[in-house]
C-alpha cells in the first residue's frame, strides 16, 4: 500500500517540524509527503534531513481544508 501524507502548514514552522518528525518515526514509511504552505507570511523552506516529496505554496491563506484538498489532488498514493 502506498500512503500519501498531506500536511497543511500556515505560519507555524515548529508545528510543521513536529509533524515531519512524526513521519520519520513511523514504522511504515509513507510513499510521499506533500506539504502545502497555505499562504504563510514567511514561506516554508525545506528542512535538512527531512524528505518532503513535494512542497506547494499557495499565494493566499485559504484555510487548512483548502490546503488539504489541494494536496489530495496532487497525491499519487492509494
**What's the whole-number mean pLDDT along residues 41-51?**
77
Q: What pLDDT shows up at residue 1?
A: 86
Residue 19, C-beta contacts closer than 8 angstroms, at least 6 positions apart:
7
In this predicted structure, the answer to whether residue 48 has a pLDDT above a threshold of 80 is no
> How would residue 23 be classed by pLDDT, with cut points 50, 70 and 90?
confident
- For all residues of the chain together, what is the average pLDDT? 90
In this predicted structure, the answer to whether residue 6 has a pLDDT above a threshold of 90 is yes
Residue of 7, 11, 14 lying closest to 51 (CA atoms): 7
Amino acid at each position: 500500500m502506498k500512503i500519501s501524507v498531506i500536511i497543511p502548514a500556515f505560519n507555524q514552522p515548529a508545528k510543521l517540524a513536529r509533524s515531519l518528525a512524526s513521519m520519520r518515526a513511523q514504522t511504515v514509511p509513507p510513499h510521499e509527503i506533500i506539504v502545502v504552505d497555505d499562504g504563510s507570511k514567511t514561506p516554508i523552506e525545506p528542512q535538512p534531513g527531512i524528505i518532503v516529496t513535494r512542497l506547494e505554496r499557495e499565494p493566499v491563506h485559504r484555510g487548512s481544508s483548502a490546503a488539504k484538498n489541494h494536496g489530495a489532488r496532487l497525491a499519487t498514493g492509494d
